[in-house]
């Protein structure tokens, strides 16, 4: 069980789920970092290393955190919405236990979400590496000037962005930061890689959708103060001449779907998509 940090309602539900699971012959363990008293706990990485199912009690950020805990394992994740938006955590609080029972019985559909492997490189050195479910973002640091970002796709020059930054996103991440930067909405069942510039200084520099096999290299070509962020959780400064390499990961995030809603219902209800 991966509850949202500092949310008492999530802690209460975690304790209730532990008792519910034990009554049915299962073992429920709560992520230690959440600090939930009165429930068995262990470090999140240890839980993900041996769990048959991860239950997220929080919002989209908590689910992305749980996906990062899985490392090289593909563990099904059931998301119970205890946050504000709950775009990825599709299960409402009042339906948590009926759908948890279906999950334990293997009765819920699985969405296998594309992930991206990301490396920040300088010459032969790897300065930062990680795998993202949503996006890798190159963005301005404080008091930075417009950046020159040279993009290569499959080792061929593609374009040069004069912009505040660049978002490289998955279809799952298409409804996150990329959407705020006027990127396209891509259904998560489609494998693709999205390039969305942040405030480009040209009307011709538009978002781009690439094949999932594309290898993207982003090189900082100006002395701007930039920063690379992986899923909003990890990052480092990006300096002139350094490159960000992005490609499809062999890993997938397995999200258990709520059969009572579909993707377009979520778009309408959560993002007010199509409303006038």
Q: What is the pLDDT of residues 96-128, one digit of tens each?
A: 999 999 999 999 999 999 999 999 999 999 999
Residue 142 belongs to domain spanning: 115-251
276 lies in some domain: no
Show pLDDT as tens, one digit a residue, over the chain (276 residues). 999 987 899 999 999 999 999 999 999 999 999 989 999 999 999 999 999 999 999 999 999 999 999 988 999 999 999 877 778 999 999 999 999 999 999 999 999 999 999 999 999 999 999 999 999 999 998 766 789 999 999 999 999 999 999 999 999 999 999 999 999 999 999 999 999 999 999 888 899 999 999 999 999 999 988 999 999 999 999 999 999 999 999 999 999 999 999 989 889 888 888 887
Report the predicted TM-score, pTM, of the whole model to 2 decimal places: 0.93
Residue 155 region by backbone torsions, left for phi larger than 0, else alpha for psi between -120 and 50, else beta: left
Please give the Cα distance from 218 to 211 (Å, whole number). Answer: 17
Catalogue the active-site residues: 60
Number of domains in the chain: 2
- Two tokens at 207? 């978002």
Residue 133 structure tokens: 């479910």
Same domain, 176 and 124: yes
**Which residue do the tokens 């709560």 mark?**
30
- CA distance linking residue 126 with residue 62, whole number of Å: 28
* Residue 151: CB atoms within 10 Å: 19
CA terminus-to-terminus distance, the chain: 39
Determine, yes or no, domain membership for 245: yes
Residue 57: which CATH number?
3.40.50.10330
140-151 tens-digit pLDDT? 987 667 899 999
Residues 247, 122 within the same domain = yes
Q: CATH number for the domain including 247?
A: 2.60.200.30
Q: Give the C-alpha separation, 227 to 28, whole Å.
A: 39
């Amino acid at each position: 069980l991966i509850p949202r940090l500092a949310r008492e309602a999530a802690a209460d539900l975690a304790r209730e789920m532990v008792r519910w699971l034990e009554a049915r012959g299962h073992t429920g363990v709560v992520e230690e970092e959440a600090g939930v008293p009165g429930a068995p706990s262990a470090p999140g990485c240890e839980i993900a290393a041996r769990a048959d199912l991860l239950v997220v009690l929080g919002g989209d950020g908590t689910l992305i955190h749980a996906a990062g805990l899985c490392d090289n394992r593909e563990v099904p994740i059931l998301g119970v919405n205890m946050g504000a938006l709950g775009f990825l955590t599709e299960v409402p609080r009042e339906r948590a236990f009926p759908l948890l029972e279906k999950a334990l019985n293997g009765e819920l559909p699985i969405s296998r979400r594309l992930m991206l492997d990301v490396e920040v490189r300088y010459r032969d050195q790897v300065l930062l590496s990680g795998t993202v479910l949503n996006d890798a973002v190159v963005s301005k640091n404080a008091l930075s000037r417009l950046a020159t970002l040279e993009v290569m796709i499959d080792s061929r020059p593609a374009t040069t962005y004069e912009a505040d930054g660049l978002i490289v996103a998955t279809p799952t991440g298409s409804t996150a930061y990329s959407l705020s930067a006027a990127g396209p909405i891509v259904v998560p069942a489609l494998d693709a890689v999205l390039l969305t510039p942040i405030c480009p200084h040209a009307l011709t520099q538009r978002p781009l959708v690439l094949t999932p096999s594309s290898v993207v290299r982003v090189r900082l070509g100006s002395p701007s103060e930039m920063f690379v962020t992986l899923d909003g959780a990890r990052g480092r400064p990006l300096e002139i001449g350094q490159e960000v390499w992005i490609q499809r990961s062999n890993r997938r995030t397995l999200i258990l779907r709520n059969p009572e809603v579909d993707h377009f219902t979520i778009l309408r209800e959560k993002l007010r998509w199509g409303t006038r």
